[in-house]
């Protein structure tokens, strides 16, 4: 597998760091991955390897405030900025390959970004979307006093950050995955009050406004996810109709692509993608 690093210049001139993972010059499709909150694109190396071995090119990027991309860790000023970033990411992919299908793949926070992008942006370039464990709602109810305090601070200092309190042991049944996450220097442990409120608002808006899927979508979630709510994924899938496939992975936690049976998970995703092409 070969890897090329590139830069995406977003609408506010922020230069995001991306990577192109490939094996051949004539792939059958391009898969564009948007990672989850607090993590980074290089945690998807094994996913990229899997798909490049099957004849795909894979594109990833570090979202602003994450990984090697600039920006305050765990902060963004509005969700619309993230959609602009993803749009420029897709445009870069299309400039690289002007005649192959593009599949969007969003996990957790990235799943919320991709889903909102599908609802709000021009998706003529997109063949389908794979959404895993999307952050539409949390799997637990945040303390009301913290939410009220966040709203107050947001009106005064929206970039103020707090620890995100994510327990690495809730990511996967594979404890080595959890250990590597906790030790990863590119993983940050912050979230700003603005980011938290924007993600919360957007997730509820997605569920509330969902109608029929504009393109084929696969929504997948682990049944034992204690970070994001599988019930919200099920609710969304029920609103999207026949173009949406729902897959609940029994016994799996938040990062289904990082589970002990990750090859089974990725093979299922591959089959779904191949059926689109």
Q: Compute the distance between CA of residue 248 and CA of residue 233 in angstroms, rounded to an integer.
A: 9
Phi, psi (rounded to 5 degrees) for 85: -60, -45
Tokens at 235, concatenated: 């609710």
Per-residue confidence of the chain (277 residues) as pLDDT tens digits?
A: 999 999 999 999 999 999 999 997 899 999 999 999 999 999 999 999 999 999 999 999 999 999 999 999 999 999 999 999 999 999 999 999 999 999 999 999 999 999 999 999 989 999 999 999 999 999 998 877 677 877 878 889 999 999 999 999 999 999 999 999 999 999 999 999 999 999 999 999 999 989 989 999 999 999 999 999 999 999 999 999 999 999 999 999 999 999 999 999 999 999 999 999 9
Q: List helix spans (H) across 97-143.
A: 109-120
Q: Compute the distance between CA of residue 90 and CA of residue 59 in angstroms, rounded to an integer.
A: 9
CATH architecture label of 2-276: 3-Layer(aba) Sandwich (3.40)
Q: Which of 273, 218, 263, 262 is nearest to 28 (CA)?
A: 273
Q: Compute the distance between CA of residue 43 and CA of residue 219 in angstroms, rounded to an integer.
A: 21
Please state the separation of Cα 149 from the chain's center in Å: 27
What pLDDT is attached to residue 145?
Answer: 64
Return the domain boundaries, the chain: 2-276
For CA atoms 230, 236, 242, 245, give the dihedral sign.
negative
């Amino acid at each position: 597998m070969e890897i090329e690093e590139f830069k995406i210049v977003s609408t506010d001139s922020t230069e995001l760091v991306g990577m192109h993972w490939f094996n051949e010059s004539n792939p059958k499709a391009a898969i564009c991955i948007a990672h989850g909150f607090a993590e980074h694109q290089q945690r998807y190396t094994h996913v990229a390897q899997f798909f490049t071995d099957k004849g795909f090119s894979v594109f990833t990027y570090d979202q602003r405030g994450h990984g090697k991309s600039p920006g305050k860790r765990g902060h963004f000023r509005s969700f619309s900025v993230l959609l602009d970033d993803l749009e420029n990411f897709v445009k870069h992919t299309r400039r690289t390959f002007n005649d192959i299908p593009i599949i969007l793949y969003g996990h957790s926070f990235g799943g919320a970004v991709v889903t909102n992008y599908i609802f709000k942006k021009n998706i003529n370039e997109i063949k389908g979307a794979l959404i895993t464990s999307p952050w539409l709602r949390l799997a637990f109810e945040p303390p009301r006093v913290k939410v009220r305090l966040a709203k107050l601070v947001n009106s005064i200092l929206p970039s103020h950050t707090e620890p995100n309190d994510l327990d690495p042991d809730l990511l996967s049944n594979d404890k080595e995955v959890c250990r590597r996450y906790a030790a990863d220097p590119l993983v940050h442990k912050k979230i700003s009050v603005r980011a938290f409120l924007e993600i919360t608002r957007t997730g509820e808006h997605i569920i509330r406004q969902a109608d029929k899927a504009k393109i084929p979508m696969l929504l997948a979630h682990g049944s034992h996810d204690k970070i994001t709510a599988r019930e919200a994924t099920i609710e969304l899938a029920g609103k999207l109709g026949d173009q949406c496939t729902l897959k609940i992975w029994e016994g799996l936690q938040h990062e289904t692509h990082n589970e002990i049976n990750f090859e089974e998970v990725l093979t299922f995703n591959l089959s779904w993608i191949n059926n689109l092409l």
